[in-house]
Amino acid sequence: MRQQKHLCENNNIPLSVTKLDQGITLVHQNICVTPVTVVDVWIKAGTRVEPQQWGGTAHFLEHMIFKGSQGINPGKFDEIVEENGGITNAFTSHDYAHFFLTVPGDRLRQTLPYLGEILLQAAIPDEEFSRERDVILEEIRSSYDDPDWVCFQTLCETLYQHHPYGKSILGHETQLKQYSPHQLRSFHRTHYQPDNMTVVVVGDIDKNAALCLVDEAFSNFSPPWGCPPHQINPEPPLREIRRNHIYSPRLSQGRLLMGWIGPGINELEPGLGLDILSVILGDGRTSRLVRELREDKGLVMDIESSFSLQEDSSLFTIGAWLNPENISQVEEIICDRLTQLQQEPITETELNKAKKLLCHDYIFSTETPSQLAGLYGYYQTLAHAELALSYPTLIQQYSVEKLQDLAYQYLSPQRYAITVMEPC
């Protein structure tokens, strides 16, 4: 029996979540004023669930999905989507693989069955495997030419020494060269199963029509195969400052990136508080670090802070682009400002400004069907879709006292990871 739930409303448009008989979850919202329909498919098959020695498998599989099925030749799916005026793409994260399709509203019936087939019945053909592996190997090599990628990946590996969030999503060249099509088929048959899959449909299509189309397109799942078990070890609390220093001839300026581990999705309230703190510290010209280090003292070319919510634990970072001779001074000032954040309450004016900015950003991120589908799918995959709609309300509930406690709990100036990059 289908289990249906009306969650809440976004601009008076009902959002519903339905568990279909085969086990997949459908999230639907009918927006009749848009000429397009968006289908987002989210699968709990990211880097987080890769077997220990199978790094990069989830991302490799994402590429191979588009090589078709037994009934759909390589390139045919893209051709069908283009013929119907649509676009499609995908990406992989630590927590999920995400595939999306955007088509004119009246062309969904002509395209969705093909998306369902390549996802559920991926052939992973031998003759395409080596060719696509070469593409990914080049992607890995190119990533090492990007200083920001190198800096961030090094920070993650330093911060997460036990949990798979420290692994590169792309994998490593030596590992990928040893993989076989059978390994990818095994990973696919294990994780691309109904209980791991959420399909989001947003656009000019009513719920019953969406149910029928998704039910039909996502019914023929491949039988599960055995895949080596994955292990998700919790990351012990950081007890010290962990440093990495990288010298690169490709750099024209220095790079500093500091990171702290925050709570996972099951502790959403403190996570949203860290979102507020990231705005107060480093989002916009009047934020604390930008104003002091860039605008007033000229010690950095740019500086920003960011917060990324993940399933098991979140990531809070402060990053700066600067002259190498200023690195030590900037790090010291950042640590001093974190201490100040713990010891002195934030003003109500500063808090209200941060709340307003985050709520405005939220509004701007829900303007299109694609943005809405992405938001609903993300939260449904990590927790439940109603969180996507309650974000502004939860943000507005935060007090100065709560934020001061959060700064003390998570943003220690004595316990963090840091990656520094300098020209050589």
How confident is the model at residue 335, as a pLDDT? 99
Q: How does pLDDT run across 360-397, given as a tens digit for each residue?
A: 999 999 999 999 999 999 999 999 998 899 999 999 99
Looking at the structure, do residues 253 and 145 belong to the same domain, yes or no?
no
* Domain assignment present for 117: yes
- The domain total for the chain is 2
How confident is the model at residue 239, as a pLDDT? 95
Mean pLDDT of the chain: 95
How confident is the model at residue 5, as a pLDDT? 46
Say yes or no to pLDDT of 244 above 50. Answer: yes
Looking at the structure, do residues 302 and 414 belong to the same domain, yes or no?
yes
Looking at the structure, do residues 185 and 280 belong to the same domain, yes or no?
no
How confident is the model at residue 8, as a pLDDT? 41
Average pLDDT over residues 65-80: 97
Q: How does pLDDT run across 152-171, given as a tens digit for each residue?
A: 999 999 999 999 999 999 99
Looking at the structure, do residues 186 and 268 belong to the same domain, yes or no?
no
* Domain assignment present for 223: no
* Domain assignment present for 225: no
Closest CA to 376 of 115, 2, 1, 13: 13
Looking at the structure, do residues 251 and 386 belong to the same domain, yes or no?
yes
Looking at the structure, do residues 112 and 206 belong to the same domain, yes or no?
yes
Looking at the structure, do residues 156 and 37 belong to the same domain, yes or no?
yes
Q: How confident is the model at residue 204 (pLDDT cuts 50, 70, 90)?
A: very high
Long-range CB pairs of 173-179 (<8 Å, 24+ gap) are 173/137, 173/140, 173/141, 175/53, 175/54, 175/55, 175/56, 176/56, 176/60, 176/133, 176/136, 176/137, 176/140, 177/133, 177/137, 179/54, 179/57, 179/60, 179/133
320: left (phi > 0), else alpha (psi -120 to 50), else beta? beta
Q: How does pLDDT run across 103-118, given as a tens digit for each residue?
A: 999 999 999 999 999 9
* Domain assignment present for 404: yes
Give the span between the Cα atoms of 102 and 104, in whole angstroms: 7
* Domain assignment present for 347: yes
* Domain assignment present for 48: yes
Q: Using CA of residue 60, residue 62, residue 66, residue 67, what is the dihedral sign? A: positive
Average pLDDT over residues 267-284: 95
Looking at the structure, do residues 319 and 379 belong to the same domain, yes or no?
yes
Looking at the structure, do residues 208 and 246 belong to the same domain, yes or no?
no
Lowest mean pLDDT among 118-127, 309-318, 338-347, 385-394: 385-394
Give the span between the Cα atoms of 344 and 336, in whole angstroms: 12
Q: What is the pTM of this model?
A: 0.94
SS (H, E, C) the chain: CCEEEEEEEECCEEEEEEECCCCCEEEEEECCCCCEEEEEEEECCCHHHCCCCCCCHHHHHHHHHCCCECCCCCCHHHHHHHHCCCEEEEEECCCCEEEEEEEEHHHHHHHHHHHHHHHHCECCCHHHHHHHHHHHHHHHHHHCCCHHHHHHHHHHHHHCCCCHHHCCCCCCHHHHCCCCHHHHHHHHHHHCCHHHEEEEEEECCCHHHHHHHHHHHCCCCCCCCCCCCCCCCCCCCCCCEEEEEEEECCCCCEEEEEEEEECCHHHHHHHHHHHHHHHHHHCCCCCHHHHHHHHHCCCCCEEEEEEECCCCCEEEEEEEEECHHHHHHHHHHHHHHHHHHHHCCCCHHHHHHHHHHHHHHHHHCCCCHHHHHHHHHHHHHHCCCCHHHHHHHHHHCCCHHHHHHHHHHHCCCCCEEEEEEEEC
Q: Which two tokens stand for residue 401?
A: 């006292």
Average pLDDT over residues 252-257: 96
Tell me if 202 sits within 8 A of 108, measured CB to CB: no
How confident is the model at residue 1, as a pLDDT? 37
Q: How far is CA 201 from CA 20, 77, 105, 358, in A?
A: 14, 19, 11, 26
Say yes or no to pLDDT of 10 above 80. Answer: no
Say yes or no to pLDDT of 9 above 90. Answer: no
Look up the domain containing 419 and give its range: 241-423
> How many residues would you count in the chain?
424
* Domain assignment present for 283: yes
Looking at the structure, do residues 199 and 341 belong to the same domain, yes or no?
no
Looking at the structure, do residues 77 and 212 belong to the same domain, yes or no?
yes
How confident is the model at residue 330, as a pLDDT? 99
Looking at the structure, do residues 329 and 362 belong to the same domain, yes or no?
yes
Say yes or no to pLDDT of 229 above 50. Answer: yes
Q: How confident is the model at residue 12 (pLDDT cuts 50, 70, 90)?
A: low
Portion of the chain with pLDDT greater than 70, in percent: 97
Check which CATH number belongs to the domain holding 392 and give it: 3.30.830.10
Give the span between the Cα atoms of 234 and 263, in whole angstroms: 12
Tell me if 88 sits within 8 A of 191, measured CB to CB: no
The residue whose two tokens read 């990171």 is 259
* Domain assignment present for 186: yes
